Structure 1
Amino acid sequence: MGALDGRVAVITGAGRGIGREHALLFAREGASVVVNDLGGANDGSGSDAGPAQEVVDEIRAAGGKAVANTANVAEWAGAAELVTQAVDEFGRLDVVVNNAGILRDAFIAGLEESQWDSVIAVHLKGHAAVLRHAAAYWKTASKAGEPVAGSVINTASASGTTLPNAGQANYGAAKAGIAALTLVAAEELERYGVRVNAIAPIARTRLTLATPGMGAIFAQEVEEGEFDAFSPANISPLVAYLATEKCPLTGKVFAVQGGAISELAGWHDVKVIETEAAWEIDDIAARLP
């Protein structure tokens, strides 16, 4: 018996890197998987059906169930197509793993509108679009009296939560938005039997290898037989657990890297100043650190 026996999952950005590891592990654990990947370059340009189909072929060769999808999840219609395909192919939808992403790094003073728009579209809108159509499916099922045990796992980043990275204003803003979206969605979808969590992973992928200042760290070779702390395969077991039917967790954001998993908390009070009258600028200046 696999941990995900009978579950149907859509995984975006599953043709390479972390998403590929998710798809392979989900299939090994008994899930039927819709492998979504537009097949574009790091910056989102171009498309290629090959990566998604290659993962599907690997899953099927191992005896698993999977189909490929190359829809653009940054478009509402593409996200709707993805959800519809899961239901049409496998009869239901239980899990959404939002993982697709691109990079178009630039410092703010030189950031082009297209660089901002494309990164926000793929990451933040891509999460929201798939979530929206999956939520509509689960709402309809719940209203019809069907049992729903849905799970959504979003992909945030340390860049948008704990470690802001210069040159990634677009990426960091999108990832911070994904963390906030996760908390809102967890509140909204609980009534339909759906849990929503997020991860902030650190692993070796084509995107992290291309990130200035980080490529050399992730590219370090590991001796055969040693634990590879930056392997993307380290991320997927947490995602698989969050996708299981009996997992009780919702509204959580977890940092995950190598052999470490930690729960993150958002903005919180660190110092409070108060007044019983109207604020004066000089008073604020004297009392704020």
Structure 2
Amino acid sequence: MVTPLLKTPLSGITATVQVPGTSANLGPGFDSLGLAVSLYDTLSVTALAVPELEFELSGEGVAELPRDGRHLVVKTMDTAWARLGYSRVGLRITAANVLPHGRGLGSSASAIVAAVMAANALVAPEDQQDKAWILQLASELEGHPDNVAPAIYGAVAISWQEGPDYASARLTPAAMVIPVVAIPDVELKTERARGMLPATVPHADAAANSGRAALLMHALTAQPELLLAGTRDYLHQNYRAAAMPGSAGLVAQLRAEGFAAFISGAGPTVMTLANGPAQADSAVARITEIGAIARSEHKHGVSWRVLRLQVDLEGAKVEVHP
């Protein structure tokens, strides 16, 4: 049996992909809900006709990440090209990382989505695939779709799995919904956070969580004044609190004061969904104040970088140029 000859990506062409950061779960939507926000990683990839790998990396992770075939972007592109019947010769990669790593803002999902979209853009037009294919492969590689779906489609994504197949539906949130993030100066690996979850939860908690997730969809799209109630979680945050006491404490304090705060993804970033500009400003001011008080009292040793963001409505964008 003769093995078919693999094609090579289009050499001399550059694909540049901009991918938004994402927040998964949004409180009760464990492994199913995600929101795209206005923080962006940018990846540029040029396929080379010679067997070289050039890698320029800036921003987050510059001191820790590899610049060779071990990098997540390179491994992901190789996988995507193999699915499409391609094999690379050489690569020139430039990555500008803005998303903090290990903070619950979708940095690994962003890298995977950017790599799959770049690889897809650098094959012959007749071999290029649609966003559903990108969602499928990116979800397989990430392990779940809650971050990759909003990174691809923007806005709010409701994602699910049927057997081996992943799917997602997009919702546009009300214009009054404004995300505010408090990013701590400490990391928390997703694997550790997942390891703290129990194998089962009480039926009453599951039922309560289902109701809050349904309410959250209404609050996000039609009635933002219900965001506080809609972001109440019963499935994961309490179990993970011991791994991020500063974040858990901030969420509890903000919610007690009427802010719709929750742990972003696996944490330890805290996100607040504000109802309008005035509440967003209040959330920024209050988090800054709480952080200053905690530092003065030497509580938890956490410093917060507070950002008022926007909901990204477009998702990942790719441009191809010579």
Bigger relative contact order, structure 1 or 2 (CA pairs below 8 A, ≥6 apart): 2
Higher percent of residues as helix: 1
Normalised by the length of structure 2, the TM-score is 0.25
Normalised by the length of structure 1, the TM-score is 0.27
Higher percent of residues as strand: 2
